Amino acid sequence: MKENKKSKVMIMVLSSTFIIGAIPSVSFAESKYQTQIDSIEKKRSEVKEKTEATKDKIDDLQQDQANVVKKLEQLDVKMKETKRQVNQTQDAVESGKKEISKLKEEIKFIEKRIESRQELLKDRMRSLQKSGGMLSYIDVILGSNSFGDLIQRMSAVQVIMEADEDIINQQNLDLKIVNSKKDEMTVKQAKIERDLANLETLNKQLSNQVNEQNNLMASLKEQEKEAHEDVLNLKEQDELLASQQIALKKAAEEAKRKAAEEARLKAEREKEKNDNKPSNGGSGNSGNSGNSGGGSTPPISSGNFTRPAAGYISSGFGNRSFDGGGFHDGVDIAGSGTVPVVSAGDGVVIRAYTSSSYGNCVFITHNIGGQVWTTVYAHLDSFNVSTGQSVSKGTKIGFMGNTGHSFGQHLHFELHKGEWNASKSNAVDPQKYINF
């Protein structure tokens, strides 16, 4: 009886020892994920900061647009005032043209009068020249027969002389009027042309300013559109990081549960060994049915990862010259018909959703020997897994398709050594890790 008690005590001690010895293993299983979870939390904080900064930028851009609108309103007022002045000046131009036309007619009439008078004076001068000029007037006076006749003759000569002098004075006056009217016409025409030129220059300047403001507004709107797109991209990135964080937490819990289960089983085996009890002789059938598959489901290979889909590699990892060039962050596997897509390794689904570029896609996180990996399956026709779901290597997750930014049925597959990020800095060539 004492031996029995001793034996039971010993077994309990040993069992406790194994269980206590398994605690570090459980703690390690829990902590090895915590670093990645903390890293993702840090990245989410960075994404949040970028999002806030981008939203501030949007507010600034909207304020700049409001300022541009005010400027355009001010310019519109100025343009309306300038247009009013242009219209007034154009009216003045029309009026001025009529005045100039009238002046031209007056000048033409006076010039004709001057010309006629000029001919008269010429005739008068020719007559005087033929008669001896002033001597003819003296002859007329001296040829008088009486004093009364003398008076009459002197009066007649005086009238003739005064008439000649009046003609000359009228001629000089008309010449002055003509010159004055010509000067007035020149001044008016120059002023009209100057006013019109000034208004046209001002109108052109205002139009240029309006064009500048409109171009600035278009630029600000484009910048705001890009900023809104950045916010949406950052939001999607944060959602993906959040899903990845949840998946890692679930993976940590699963690892902790497995480690605890392994510790419990180990303790039980040790207990049975110390009890010297015979083994039950169970076959230990794992019950692993593998991938039920069917059709073109790829076989599950050994190693950390298996091929995600049957088909041929239509585009490899790295720089490529087609489809706009650029860097290809994964491999494209092309196939026809209904082609199943499987998880490349054991892991947890980070996110299964529809993206504008990836189409129907699935992100899975894997933890292999403490190293976090992420696989991406894009352009799926459909998927049959959900966010947070645990999957095994070879688990069917969907079917190859042609959704999102895709040209022809294929699977775009990415492998990231670490967490997925928007810059895809952790992307590696899948063909170096998986036998295709």
Q: In CATH, what number is assigned to the domain containing residue 411?
A: 2.70.70.10
Structural domain including 161 reads 1-278
Residue 153: CB atoms within 10 A of its CB come to: 18
Specify whether 209 is located in the same domain as 351. no
Least confident range of 4-13, 140-149, 263-272, 295-304: 4-13
Least confident range of 50-59, 128-137, 181-190, 407-416: 128-137
Q: Is residue 300 part of a domain?
A: no
- Stronger pLDDT, 244 or 8, i.e. the higher one: 244
Q: Is the pLDDT of residue 36 over 60?
A: yes
Q: Is residue 140 part of a domain?
A: yes
User: 331 pLDDT band (50/70/90 cuts)?
Assistant: very high
Of the residues 260, 278, 296, which one is the last residue of a structural domain? Answer: 278
Using one digit for the tens of pLDDT, what is the confidence trace for 111-124? 787 777 667 666 66
């679930």: which residue's tokens? 250
Q: Is residue 306 part of a domain?
A: no
- Dig out the tokens for 120 from the structure: 């008269």
Cα dihedral sign, 386-243-415-336: positive
Specify whether 331 is located in the same domain as 247. no
Q: Mean pLDDT over residues 341-351, rounded?
A: 93
User: 403 pLDDT band (50/70/90 cuts)?
Assistant: very high
Q: Contact 415/344 with Cβ under 8 angstroms?
A: yes
Q: Is residue 216 part of a domain?
A: yes
> At 193, which CATH number?
1.10.287
**Any bridge partners for residue 391, and if so which?**
347
Q: Is residue 52 part of a domain?
A: yes
- Dig out the tokens for 354 from the structure: 């529809």
pLDDT at 13: 38
Q: Mean pLDDT over residues 408-429, rounded?
A: 91
Specify whether 143 is located in the same domain as 207. yes
Angle between helices 147-275 and 2-131 (to 10 degrees): 170
Using one digit for the tens of pLDDT, what is the confidence trace for 278-306? 444 433 333 333 333 344 788 999 889 99
pLDDT at 397: 96
d(CA 267, CA 257): 15
Specify whether 342 is located in the same domain as 421. yes
What is the secondary structure of 221-264 as a DSSP string?
HHHHHHHHHHHHHHHHHHHHHHHHHHHHHHHHHHHHHHHHHHHH
Q: Contact 414/408 with Cβ under 8 angstroms?
A: no
Specify whether 252 is located in the same domain as 323. no
pLDDT at 78: 78
Specify whether 267 is located in the same domain as 317. no
SS3 165: helix
Q: Is the pLDDT of residue 8 over 60?
A: no
Q: Mean pLDDT over residues 78-102, rounded?
A: 77
pLDDT at 40: 74
CA nearest to 409, candidates 355, 343, 323, 336? 336
CA angle, 424 then 430 then 433, to 5°: 125
